[in-house]
Structure 1
Amino acid sequence: MGLHGKLVSAIEFKAGGDVFHELFRHKPHDISTMSPGIVQGCDLHEGEFGHVGSIICWTYTHDGKEKKAKEVIQAIDEEKKLIQFKMIEGDVMELYKDFVITIHVETNGGIDLVTCTFEYEMLNEDVEHPISLLTLFIDLTKDIETHHASKT
């Protein structure tokens, strides 16, 4: 079994791809109000929200346990509505040597798809692929969509 992996999910987002991208880029601290069962907090540790090199710390619930994740924003592409985070500390790093999350929005035929890609390297062959984390992100996306749909 290889230690490197890549998981991708693409889910339709009816509340508008621009809304989703702007939220993750400029207002990630608002996500906890949209999905309090998953995200309890998002704090800026260094830099500014929405800028490459900035460091963000998330508090979230996964598998019934409160966890932390510290990430650096590695890349932003406004044209592709893309933001990429590299995990630098936290619970995920206890299992993975490398963990990069790329979130982008594609619009095709008037349908916005939120695509989340996890690229990772496991510390050893006993580590499971982060499928439950990807499911958590899908659930988070649905919560954000529901929150924005209720405003229209």
Structure 2
Amino acid sequence: MTPFLRILSAVVLGAITVFAQLQCPPLGPILPAPTNLDAIRALAQPLQTQLENKTLFDSSATALSIGLASIHDPTPLLSLHVTPTSYNQSGTHNVTGDTIYAIASVTKLFTALSILQLEGKINLADSVLKYVPRLAQLSPSHDPLLEPD
């Protein structure tokens, strides 16, 4: 390759790199971050009270961490951590704000189910058996020996 082509290639690649790094605006309107923290705190407080009373979930078997923060306030708007009374011995024994949860790829499932619901392909109120009927055969009350071949 001639020196001219090397320089030209470097200039073109440099220009492509610069243009690729320009910020691409998001689709839709760009909304400012909420700044009315008092209103958010007013909503967060009853939620925290309900969660602390442990009436919304089984606190004997469920670890829970919820945090709500704002870029406009250094203190958390909501911070709640619950350690279940019955827990896996190999896991954590004290749930705190520093606890790391192993959620794997669960968020991908939430995204996929949300898209399917928006497209009208599923209804989250339906029984899972509507979509996976084979699960009925896997129930403890199902006896495969009584099933005809």
Taking structure 2 as the reference length, the TM-score comes to: 0.27
Higher RCO (CA 8 Å, separation ≥ 6 residues): 1
* Greater helix fraction, Structure 1 or Structure 2: 2
* Greater strand fraction, Structure 1 or Structure 2: 1
- Bigger Cα Rg: 2
Taking structure 1 as the reference length, the TM-score comes to: 0.26
